[in-house]
């Protein structure tokens, strides 16, 4: 089963909704999610926020965060994922922001640096993807990492929710 199909099954099992906030992946995550028949049952929508203005206006990323940490940062993707859930009224979301290449990198943030966040309600996990595999490779890797993170978060959350309570002995 493909990751996007597994995510769909997990979301349907608990009646959860999903949104995306994408910068460097350009809607690729949303495209994969919506390639699954029946995804309208759980996918509310996505925002491709390439500019900082859109990150601020639609995803509620603060100007201070962007000034202090930059668009390619853990802090920014955390605010993006929260903003996606708020704006698109969902239980879960994924967000990406990075430097896909071939240009745009700096010594501190070289090409291939991509921050990813996955959220289930108020639980957020992040990862920093590093290494330059060319623009297409960087984007595809980020899409797969985002889907893997979301799938893992959903599995953990669903297991935790469904665990029976045991009496303390």
Identify the CA nearest to 1 among candidates 155, 163, 162, 157.
155
Listed as ranges, residues in the chain with pLDDT below 70 are 158-169
Mean residue pLDDT across the chain: 94
Question: Percentage of the chain with pLDDT > 90?
Answer: 92
pLDDT given at position 143:
98
Alpha-carbon distances, residue 82 vs 76, 77, 121 (angstroms): 10, 8, 9
Convert the pLDDT of each residue in 112-133 to its tens digit: 999 999 999 999 999 999 999 9
Q: Using a cut of 0.85, tell me whether the model's pTM lies above it.
A: yes
The residues pairing with 114 across neighbouring beta strands, listed in sequence order, are: 98, 129
CB-based burial of residue 165 (10 Å sphere; 0-12 exposed, 13-18 middle, 19+ buried)?
A: exposed
Alpha-carbon distance of 115 to 25, in angstroms, equals 11
């Amino acid at each position: 089963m493909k990751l996007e199909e597994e995510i769909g099954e997990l979301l349907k099992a608990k009646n959860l909704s999903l949104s995306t906030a994408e910068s460097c992946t350009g809607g690729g995550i949303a495209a994969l999610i919506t390639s699954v028949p029946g995804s309208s049952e759980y996918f509310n929508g996505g925002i491709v926020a390439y500019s900082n203005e859109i990150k601020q206006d639609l995803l509620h990323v603060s100007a201070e965060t962007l000034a202090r940490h930059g668009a390619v940062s853990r802090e920014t993707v955390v605010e993006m994922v929260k903003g996606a859930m708020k704006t698109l009224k969902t239980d879960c979301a994924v967000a990406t922001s990075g430097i896909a290449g071939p240009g745009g990198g700096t010594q501190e943030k070289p090409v291939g640096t991509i921050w990813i966040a996955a959220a289930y309600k108020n639980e957020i996990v992040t990862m920093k993807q590093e290494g330059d595999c060319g623009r297409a490779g960087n984007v595809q890797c980020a899409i797969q990492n985002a889907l893997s993170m979301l799938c893992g978060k959903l599995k953990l959350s669903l297991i935790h929710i469904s665990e029976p309570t045991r009496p303390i002995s």
